[in-house]
A and B are shown apart, each in its own frame.
Chain A
C-alpha cells in the first residue's frame, strides 16, 4: 500500500490548508531570483511588441490582463492589421491549455480554500510559481498563499519589464548571450530534485521526457508540455493498475 501511494505522496493530509501573509511573503522571497530572468524576457517582449506596432497602452493591458509570456510572444507574430481575432484567440487557448494540468495538480490544496481566495490566486498561476509552490507542498508545507505571493512578484516583474521594453525600444540584447535563458530550466531542474520520490517516478519521468522531446520536434508552441506531462502521469497510473 505504501508503494501504491508513492505517486500520491504529494497529496495533502486531512489538515486544513493555511492562507496567510507569512506564506505570501515566503513565496515572494523565493520568486525574487526568478523575477530577474522574467524581466529579461519582459524587456525582449516589449521591444518585439514595439516592432509589431502595439501601443504602450496595449502592451500594458496585454501584460496586465493576459499575463502569459509564451502566449503573448506567439500572438505578436499574428499581430497585423486587420487583426485575425479568431486565430489570435485560438492560439492563446492552445498555448495556455497546459494551465489545465497545472490547475488540476494544485487542486487538492486549493479546493480547500474559500472560492474567492482560490480563484483570485489562480489568476497568477504560471509555470514558474506553480512549480515553486508544488515544491513547497511536496515538503509538507501547506500555505497556499505561497502561490499568490510568488505570483505577484513575477506579475510585477513581467508587467513592469514589458512596459519598459516597449518604451526603451531596441536597447536590449538577447538574454541567451548571458545564459539567462537557462535560468528557468535550472530552477525547474532544482525543483525536480526535490520532487524525486524514488524508483516509482522513473518510468513516468522517462515517458514524459521522451514524449516531450518528440513533441517539441514535430509540433509548434508549447504542446510538448501538455503531451509529455499527460503521457508520463498516465504511464505511472497504468503501471500501478497492473
Chain B
C-alpha cells in the first residue's frame, strides 16, 4: 500500500474542512453582538446537544441500553461521581446484553 499524492491532498482537504467547522461557531459568535434571546439559546445548547447525542442509543436501541442508561443516571444523581456512573453503566449494559442473549 503506497501513499499517493492524491490521497494526501484528500486528507489535507478533510483536515481543513474539519477545522473550519470547529472554529466557525466560536468565530461567528465572537463577532456578533448577542441579544438576550441569543444568550438564552446558547444557554440551552449544551443540554439539548447532549440529549440529542444520547437519545437514539437510550430510547431506540434496546432494553439493555435503556436499563443501563437508567442505572447510570441514578448512580450519578446519588453520588455525583462520573467515573463510578460510567463503570456502572458499562457493567449493566454488558450484563443485560448477556442476559437478554441467553433468554432469546
Q: Mostly helix, strand, loop or mixed at chain A's interface?
A: helix
Q: Contacts A93-B21, A104-B29, A108-B42 given: A186-B68 contact, CB under 8 Å?
A: yes
Residue among B14, B41, B76, B89 with the most chain A CB within 10 A? B14
How far does the alpha carbon of A217 sit from the alpha carbon of B13 in the complex, in Å? Answer: 30
Q: How far is the CB of B53 from chain A (nearest CB, A)?
A: 5
A71 to B51, CA, bound (A): 21
Contacts of A17 in B (CB 8 A): none
Q: A174-192: which residues lie under 8 A (CB-CB) from chain B?
A: 178-180, 182-183, 185-192
Q: Give 1 or 0 for each of B9-53: 1 = CB within 8 Å of chain A CB.
A: 111111101110111111111100000010111111111111111
Tell me how far the C-beta of A240 lies from the nearest C-beta in chain B, rounded to whole angstroms: 6
Interface size class of B (residues with CB under 8 A): 35 or more
How near does chain B come to A159, taking the closest CB pair, in angstroms?
13
Cβ contact within 8 Å between B41 and A107 = no
Query: Do A225 and B49 have beta carbons less than 8 Å apart?
Result: yes
User: What are 25 contact pairs spanning A and B, CB under 8 A?
Assistant: A55-B1, A58-B3, A61-B11, A66-B11, A67-B18, A68-B18, A85-B9, A89-B13, A104-B25, A107-B26, A123-B19, A185-B68, A189-B72, A189-B76, A190-B86, A194-B76, A201-B44, A208-B51, A209-B51, A209-B55, A210-B55, A213-B56, A213-B60, A217-B60, A229-B51
